[in-house]
Amino acid sequence: MSQNGVSTSNAIFEIGDDDFSRFSEKPKPINIERKRSFDEKSFSELSITMSPRPFYRNSENSSRVFEPVDSIYSSGGRSGFDTPRSENGFETHPIVSEAWEALRRSMVYFRNEPVGTIAASDHSEEKLNYDQVFVRDFVPSALAFLMNGEPDIVRNFLIKTLRLQSWEKKVDLFKLGEGVMPASFKVHHDAVRNAETLVADFGEAAIGRVAPVDSGFWWIILLRAYTKSTGDSSLADRPECQRGIRLILSICLSEGFDTFPTLLCADGCCMIDRRMGIYGYPIEIQSLFFMALRCALQLLRPEGEGKEFIQRIVERLHALSYHMRNYFWLDLKQLNCIYRFKTEEYSHTAVNKFNVMPDSLEDWVFDFMPAKGGYFIGNVSPARMDFRWFCLGNCVAILSSMATPEQASAIMDLIEARWDELVGEMPLKISYPALEGHEWKIITGYDPKNTRWSYHNGGSWPVLLWLLTAACIKSGRPQIAKKAIELAEARLLKDGWPEYYDGKTGRFIGKQARKYQTWSIAGYLVAKMMLEDPSHWVWSHLRKTDKFVPESKDLHPGLADHFIYLLFLFCQLVIL
Ligand code: GLC
């Protein structure tokens, strides 16, 4: 719905109330009663200390875009959403305006139009590819602009990257799938011809020559965010956009030798874009895949080829959620189960289906696992479970509702219980624990950038704040995000917005971290804005017809029988 081209809806992402009957009814926000006292307390406390959307430049537009409907936390005293700052005496943290200025300085123009933001504006370090617009890096920038009522840069970005997708992509003599989206692009200025062109990288120039599997997923997710935020579905409805979505999905949904619904990937194919032992079925990709599939269901027109894709997506979601919720989930109970696994079971009734050796459980897992809590582990494949914690995959699992509400709560419990390890002095650990010694040598291939507790190997990345905040809001635990944001606020500006921090607790600015890393800046702004106005996130209806919810009882022994649990499962759909 749109008024004067501006959406009257609230959430940036509202992955509809029912992916399967989206054409029949409008979603209604539900007033979540569970954990009521805590939630209300949390939000009323927040509302006292934080400003109501103090960032918006275009206040007329933005107040419409984000006007709260029956706010989920309405009784917590958040009545002053649109009240001017002066009337409430709210204070904005001084680094917010600095962050906005830095974000604006990072904008990249192509033929006088903004098309993205540069990865980092650090002139003291060698540029490598940090002078490019990365698809994944642009996502938090895009969300910040959308929340601020500035959708043009996002629209331009979506259109330009869609054009890049249609390029022929080759690494040496080998052609990549048509649907592959670029990892990054830059604007090339030809001084002689006085012309500008875009130059993209699909992995053929990337360190390690890996294609970015996540780029296409982020593109779909962003298209959904743009559509939701502006209420303008004309972009997504364009035949070329519909085709772009189908091309991305074609490479993921094709049938082959796969025995699992998860997506088989090379190492370094996502945010962790160097060898880190994430090859196989990395959690980051599986969560993004799930989220992108759900967004695509909302975006695809149900006629012609779209109809067939919708059917394939529904089937894949069904299988994928079953697989992830069953086999990637680890809590104390499951850990004990794996600890007692028998091996070499050949039959349909095998308990240890992937023939995982209990001896592969390392000591740290037993120490790390709290009595209350759990998480999706890094990877599951034959005889291999990577028990490491990966932040992005777990947060996106919550946002996409790949995690059941129970699992989402358990992830939050784990973050609280393991605060020192996962947040420490600077949010947030990208992975835990770090690989060291012999393991580091074998798994990273002696990578000097990925030494223990640095960069992708247990480094702390401020950009992950926005994902944590979104996940906290969705699971009704905003206080966790608030604490994390305060930690980041104390240092980010002073330290020059580093890309990542090093050390067990994230005390040191990363040894090769770029300064003025745009997604550190944007991630902070998005986190801050979401906490101030949680109505960017809308809980929609759950329905019994949500077909991809697994039917198996062993999904969550004891819980699957609870009608109320299933009801939540059906009704609590993603919001990003
Ligand atoms: C690093 C990160 C990658 C990011 C890029 C640009 O390579 O690992 O995730 O996209 O920098 O910031």
What tens digit of pLDDT does each residue of 255-278 get? Answer: 999 999 999 999 999 999 999 999
pLDDT-derived band at 536 (thresholds 50, 70, 90) equals: low
424: tokens are 């420490």
For residues 199 and 131, the answer to whether their CB atoms sit within 8 Å is no
Q: How far apart are CA 406 and CA 226, in angstroms?
A: 30
Share of the chain above pLDDT 90, in %: 72
Mean pLDDT of 478-491: 97
Chain length of the chain = 576
- Pick the residue whose CA is nearest to atom 2 on ligand 1: 271
Residue 229 carries which DSSP code? Answer: H
Ligand 1 closest atom vs CA 183: 10
Q: For position 71, what pLDDT does the model report? A: 28
Pocket test for ligand 1, best of 108, 121, 271, 272 (most atoms within 8 A of CB): 271
When mean pLDDT is compared across 89-98, 241-250, 286-295, 347-356, the lowest value belongs to 89-98
**Quick one: 529 exposed, middle or buried, by C-beta within 10 A (0-12, 13-18, 19+)?**
buried
* Separation of CA 523 and ligand 1 centre (Å): 14
Contact 118, 512 (CB under 8 A): no
Average confidence score pLDDT of the chain: 82
- Which of 8-22, 263-277, 557-571 reaches the highest mean pLDDT? 263-277
Q: Which amino acid makes up residue 104?
A: R
Residue corresponding to tokens 């394939």: 312
pLDDT digits over 346-382, tens only?
889 999 999 999 999 999 999 999 999 999 999 999 9
CA of 270 to the centre of ligand 1 (A): 9
The stretch 529-536 carries a mean pLDDT of: 82
Alpha-carbon gap, residue 136 to 102, rounded angstroms: 18
C-alpha to C-alpha distance for 429 and 162, rounded to whole angstroms: 32
Among 137, 390, 499, 517, the mutation site with the greatest number of ligand 1 atoms within 8 A of its Cβ is: 137
Ligand 1 in contact with 270 (CB < 6 A)?
no
| Ligand 1 in reach of 516 Cβ (< 6 A) | no
Report which protein residue has its CA nearest ligand 1's atom 9: 271
- Distance between CA atoms of residues 531 and 535, nearest Å: 9
CA 499 to ligand 1 centroid distance, Å: 9
- In this structure, of 194-203, 228-237, 273-282, 555-564, the range with the lowest mean pLDDT score is 555-564
Lowest mean pLDDT among 55-59, 72-76, 98-102, 558-562: 72-76
Ligand 1 center–CA 401 separation, angstroms: 26
pLDDT of 131: 92
Alpha helices in 231-351, H assignment, sequence order? 234-237, 239-253, 283-299, 305-323, 332-339
List the residue whose alpha carbon is closest to atom 6 of ligand 1: 119
> How far apart are alpha carbons 404 and 400 in whole angstroms?
10
Residue nearest to atom 3 of ligand 1 (CA): 271
Average pLDDT, integer, range 519-540: 81
- Note the pLDDT of residue 484: 98
**Three-state secondary-structure class, residue 211:** coil
Most informative mutation of 106, 135, 213, 273 for ligand 1 (most atoms within 8 A of CB) = 273
Question: How many C-beta atoms lie closer than 10 Å to residue 38's C-beta?
Answer: 13
Q: pTM above the 0.85 mark? A: no
Query: What does the alpha-carbon distance between residue 34 and residue 38 come to, in Å, rounded to a whole number?
Result: 9
Q: Is the CB of 137 under 6 A from ligand 1?
A: yes
Atom number, ligand 1, closest to the C-alpha of residue 132: 6
Distance 120 CA to ligand 1 centre (A): 10
Whole-number Å distance, alpha carbon 70 to ligand 1 midpoint, is: 39
Does the CA dihedral 527-532-533-539 come out positive or negative? positive
The C-alpha atoms of residue 218 and residue 65 are separated, in whole angstroms, by 22
What are the tokens at 178?
């048509």
Distance 96 CA to ligand 1 centre (A): 23
